[in-house]
Chain A
Amino acid sequence: MIVEVDGLGKTYGRRRVLDAVSFGVPAGSVLALLGPNGAGKTTAVRILGTLTRPDGGSARIGGHDVVREPVVVRGLIGLTGQFAAVDDRQTGRENLEMIGRLRHLGRDGARRRAAELLERFGLEAAADRQAQTWSGGMRRRLDLAMSLVVPPAVLFLDEPTTGLDPVSRSTMWTAVGDLVRGGTTVVLTTQYLEEADRLADRILLMDQGRVVAEGTPDELKAQHGGERLVLAHPDQGAAASAMHLLADGGAIPGPDPLTTDLPSDGGAEHLRRVLDRLHVAGIPVTRVTATRPSLDDVFLALTGTAGSSTRAAARVGVPAGVATANREGQ
């Protein structure tokens, strides 16, 4: 584990923004901290980036404690914050060369590295214009490039695409995807499920300072959403009969009055059994739809639309393992 986080806590005033958060990130993988505003994602990243001191627990990057050895940690990481931290009145090239020289690459080394990064991120054409004339997407890419001047062992991206238009977002995703294929370990925070789904190997779902679920995107969908079958019937009588017949299988009324909705394991065998039973009972079915939950469903189920996340988490049944793992960190 190149990133090890154990029971991390942080309180601002009376607000507990991080509560016993624990996780690990294997080298070369991507972890997404996913959650709504105020979930504690940014605070977690700021602690890992040595910008904020935790008031409980510990965090290590490459084996070095972020509180006791911040200078060592800073040499290992790259951090790109929520807002493009570039100098508006410097050109893209000057911004990059400045970082290279601050990292002691020397004048020539910094110049070469800046040229490489400008090319890699498609910023050559605008390289010698002041960044204040650049688009939001270009500034974000410059911001990212500035975090990569010395290739970091771990790259932190705090909401890398918030506020970007779809095209810029897609460009940013490609850039991050390329980095990951190149072996960079990435920890990113996001409010966008699509982003987590697309970029991350593992997702840590956070709400109100706590980890409410963890797993691969597929695991989360399977655990917290579950696949479902929706059966469409020609008339309400058939729908009612199907509901009655399949009640033991957890059938409930579907999205419209002529449908029945029941949980499934996603396998063909289950579907055949259901259809056989309906056929034997003479209940007509006109169409069958198998739905896989989106991460949106998981997100909504676990964080709730508003208010008590604890109740929402209990309702869908967070696996005991996840809940216990979080407590243990304390």
Chain B
Amino acid sequence: MTAPALPRRRFAVLAESLVLVGRSIRLSRRDVETLVMSIALPLMMMALFVYVFGGAIETGGAYLTYVVPGIVLLCVGFGAASTAPAVADDMDRGMVDRLRSMPVAASALVAGHVVASVARNALATAVVVAAAVAMGFRPDAGPLEWAAALGLLLLYVLALSALAAGLGALASSVQSAGALTFFMLFLPYLSSAFVPTGTMPAALRAVAEHQPITPVIETVRGLLTGAPIGASGWAAVLWCTGLLIVSSAFAGWAYRRRTHR
């Protein structure tokens, strides 16, 4: 006997993605520990850098103004990294199998995780920027500069979230998924986020100036505070776009590797 095949509706993938975005956002909202940590950590780092280390760091201006873009990037890295354990949890506990045994597009699940990550980061960034303003941060950016800075941050978050999703699919457990994203939290320290790269030893300085986070930070800093951007703008866009493409391909590969057995 042959059972009738139901045709897929035209906007099925979009509808499925929306359902799973809603799910991921709901799960993020209820994972209070992770949410609080992803906001509290950058706030604590900002207070630490501004009030403890800041006085001793010479940046040629108010340290708060210098460090806020770096704190935002640190915060965004943390938020994106928590995509990895979320994906690993779905892999581990059968939700991926459940969805794969249903006529649901695989991309909808990844879309759910990545969009939820963007939402988490938007919230955390807003809180961090608000706190910075309360501490005396006065960005002189116009609407256009803000839009450009947010656009670049969005691109950066998408790239990191896709990378984290891939690492989550690759990880053998939720715990190791968290560990795999360690470098996302570490990389901002090896950049111009907290101190100008000029004082670093030559080898480290070469790394710091040529890793993707430095141009992103320089660009965001320039857009918000009027510091010179120079070639960092294009470098930042190219880095983020390239990272997004590579991370998406990597995430797809990791997902297939895990599921096609």
**Interface residues, chain A, with chain B CB atoms under 8 Å away:** 1-2, 12, 27, 49-53, 61-64, 69, 71-72, 74-79, 81-85, 87, 89-90, 94, 98-99, 101-104, 130, 146, 153
Give the number of chain B interface residues (Cβ < 8 Å).
Answer: 33
Most chain B CB atoms below 10 A, which of A76, A89, A94 = A89
**Known interface pairs A89-B30, A103-B103; 6 further A-B residue pairs with C-beta atoms within 8 A, sorted by A's residue number:** A1-B1, A51-B100, A53-B260, A62-B3, A72-B6, A75-B6
Closest-by-CB residue of B relative to A77 is B101
> Smallest distance from the beta carbon of B257 to chain A beta carbons, Å?
13
Please give, as numbers and ranges, the residues of chain A lying within 8 Å of B94 by CB-CB distance. Answer: 81-85
Of B8-16, B228-236, B244-252, which stretch is located at the interface?
B8-16
A62 to B12, CA, bound (A): 23
B95 part of interface (Cβ distance < 8 Å): yes
Beta-carbon contact of A81 and B97 below 8 Å: yes
> Smallest distance from the beta carbon of A28 to chain B beta carbons, Å?
12
> Smallest distance from the beta carbon of A210 to chain B beta carbons, Å?
21
A50 to B100, CA, bound (A): 8
Chain A binding surface SS class: loop
Beta-carbon contact of A104 and B98 below 8 Å: no
Please give, as numbers and ranges, the residues of chain A lying within 8 Å of B134 by CB-CB distance. Answer: none
A45 to B102, CA, bound (A): 14
Beta-carbon contact of B101 and A79 below 8 Å: yes
Beta-carbon contact of A103 and B100 below 8 Å: no
Beta-carbon contact of A50 and B30 below 8 Å: no
A47 to B8, CA, bound (A): 22
Q: List 12 A-B contacts (CB under 8 A).
A: A2-B3, A61-B3, A62-B2, A63-B1, A71-B103, A75-B103, A90-B26, A90-B27, A98-B19, A102-B99, A104-B12, A153-B3
Q: Contacting A102 at CB < 8 Å: which of B9, B93, B102?
A: B102
Beta-carbon contact of A85 and B97 below 8 Å: yes
Beta-carbon contact of A85 and B104 below 8 Å: no
Beta-carbon contact of B103 and A74 below 8 Å: yes
B172 part of interface (Cβ distance < 8 Å): no
Beta-carbon contact of A79 and B98 below 8 Å: yes
A98 to B103, CA, bound (A): 14
Q: Contacting B93 at CB < 8 Å: which of A72, A76, A85, A98?
A: A85
Please give, as numbers and ranges, the residues of chain B lying within 8 Å of A63 by CB-CB distance. Answer: 1-3
Nearest first, the 10 A-B pairs at minimum CB distance are A62-B3, A85-B94, A63-B2, A79-B101, A89-B30, A72-B5, A85-B98, A74-B103, A49-B101, A101-B19
Beta-carbon contact of B102 and A103 below 8 Å: yes
Most chain A CB atoms below 10 A, which of B2, B3, B95 = B3
User: 0/1 per residue, B96-123, Cβ < 8 Å to A?
Assistant: 0111111110001000000000000000
Closest-by-CB residue of A relative to B101 is A79
Q: Contacting A50 at CB < 8 Å: which of B19, B101, B108?
A: B101
Beta-carbon contact of A69 and B5 below 8 Å: yes
Task: Given A51-B101, A89-B31, A102-B102, answer yes or no on A64-B1 (Cβ-Cβ < 8 Å).
Answer: no
Closest-by-CB residue of A relative to B104 is A102
B175 part of interface (Cβ distance < 8 Å): no
> Smallest distance from the beta carbon of A230 to chain B beta carbons, Å?
47
A53 to B261, CA, bound (A): 7
B59 part of interface (Cβ distance < 8 Å): no
Beta-carbon contact of B93 and A74 below 8 Å: no
A166 to B157, CA, bound (A): 49
Please give, as numbers and ranges, the residues of chain A lying within 8 Å of B261 by CB-CB distance. Answer: 12, 52-53
Please give, as numbers and ranges, the residues of chain A lying within 8 Å of B6 by CB-CB distance. Answer: 72, 75
Q: Contacting B5 at CB < 8 Å: which of A64, A81, A102?
A: A64
A87 to B15, CA, bound (A): 20
A89 to B93, CA, bound (A): 13
A175 to B19, CA, bound (A): 28
Q: Contacting A64 at CB < 8 Å: which of B3, B97, B98, B259?
A: B3
Please give, as numbers and ranges, the residues of chain B lying within 8 Å of A69 by CB-CB distance. Answer: 5
Closest-by-CB residue of A relative to B30 is A89
Q: Contacting A74 at CB < 8 Å: which of B9, B26, B101?
A: B101
> Smallest distance from the beta carbon of B21 to chain A beta carbons, Å?
11
